[in-house]
Amino acid sequence: MSTTTTLTPGAFELNDVQQQILNEAERFSREQLLPLAQKMDDTEECPDDLFDLFARHGYLGITIPEEYGGQGLGLFEQGLICQAMGKYNASAMLTWGAHDNLCANNIYRNANDDIKQRYLPGMCNGSIIGALGLTEPGAGSDALGSMATTAVQDGDEYILNGAKTYITNGPIADIVLVYAKTDLAAGHRGITAFVLETDTPGFAVAQKLSKMGYRGSPTAELVFDDCRVPAANMVGELNGGVGVVMSGLDVERIFLAPAAVGMAERCLELSMEHATTRKQFDKPIIDFQAIEFKLADMWIGVELAKAYTYRVLAMCAEADESDAGHGAIHAHSAAAILYATKMMREVADESVQVHGGAGYMWEMEINRLYRDAKLLEIGAGTQEVRRGIVGKYLRGTMG
């Protein structure tokens, strides 16, 4: 557990160490990632040396202990870095997050030491790129119940057959933390997680997918055709994949909430700059009350979401593994990303309005943020799923 995660009880301000981490991550993201953003969006690709860049500046393995080559920090610090990266290059943030949080952090929390020793050092130095393989072509919100990918044991191996879709880092991943049915009769209780190396015969990238937003973060459909995975690559227990999934989903949700905060901060920043320099009727448009009110509402939304996000980040960072997937942690992580991403979409929409016709142009940064905003209301559980989680929690507290 990181020693820097705890917020002062009742307060929502960062301490000096946390503020320094955020400031340095913002400097890195502004200087190194922002200049890459437009080309990544235009080409729908990330630079070949992106993970080398992350590694050189110490932004891989944030939550991984130093014994595996990581930084030995906590979820709170990882969230602050996510906020900074989201602010200046959301595509780079998503690619980094899928690797560092969804894959590496999940392996660290759930895998045995042999798997950790084989994969985590490479994930921390950038020589191994990771992805998470959960969603399938016929499944969405019911990712577990509708799972059709199977893993059948054959000696000391499992044979995987099936497909995964909307997989961030799919086209560039060296390993995929993949979920498959190992007991067809057990429904969603018969799912197991494996680390699959993508040079395994039978694995293929079926197609690279073109998206509305986060275009610089490569996404793909993956297929497994009699793909053999060593039983030694099983993460967690046989038929224990649900526990692995649920422990990761709460972390994923609260991890993405600060990304929404950072993106909204950038929208506000760009809108302030535009409103003070753009003149109409012989004065800056910020002098018009209609624009001033929009900026005020944006700022209020950002600050409220930031305070709640930091609170829940601290809760999750200090929580025991057994707290994940149910109860207050489950509800608050869902509520935090629901609120932050709704705020982000509304702020992005108002920011385009402040920019007027210029904001509608594809090459404008505010246009890219507007297109990026929607994904965070869908990924890691839709807004409807998040509301359902909160609703069930509230009904449970009434009993």
**What is the distance between the terminal CA atoms of the chain, rounded to a whole angstrom?**
33
Map residue 44 onto helix, strand or coil: coil
User: What 3-state class would DSSP assign to 13?
Assistant: coil
Neighbouring-strand partners of residue 160: 151, 227
- Calpha distance 340→319 (Å, rounded): 21
DSSP-derived letter for residue 212 is S
Dist. CA 299–CA 271, nearest whole Å: 11
Task: Copy the structure tokens of residue 32.
Answer: 């190194």
Q: Which residues pair with 228 in a beta bridge?
A: 159
Q: How far is CA 75 from the centre of its chain?
A: 12
243-246 long-range contacts (CB < 8 A, ≥24 apart) are 243/110, 243/325, 244/106, 244/110, 244/179, 244/193, 245/134, 245/143, 245/144, 245/179, 245/191, 245/193, 246/324, 246/325, 246/326
* β-bridge pairing 279-280 and 283-284: antiparallel
Helices (H) and strands (E) in the chain, counts: 12, 10
Q: Which of 249, 212, 218, 215 lies closest to 345 in space, CA to CA? A: 212
User: Could you tell me if 350 and 268 are in contact, meaning their C-beta atoms sit under 8 angstroms apart?
Assistant: no
| Residue closest to 135 by CA, chosen among 387, 344, 385, 391 | 385
- Identify the DSSP state of 321: G
Q: Which residues are catalytic?
A: 252
Cα torsion angle, 141, 315, 106, 49, sign: positive
Q: How far apart are CA 241 and CA 31, in angstroms?
A: 40
φ, ψ at 151 (rounded to 5°) = -135, 110
Taken as a whole, the chain contains a residue count of: 399
φ, ψ (nearest 5 deg) of residue 191: -110, 140
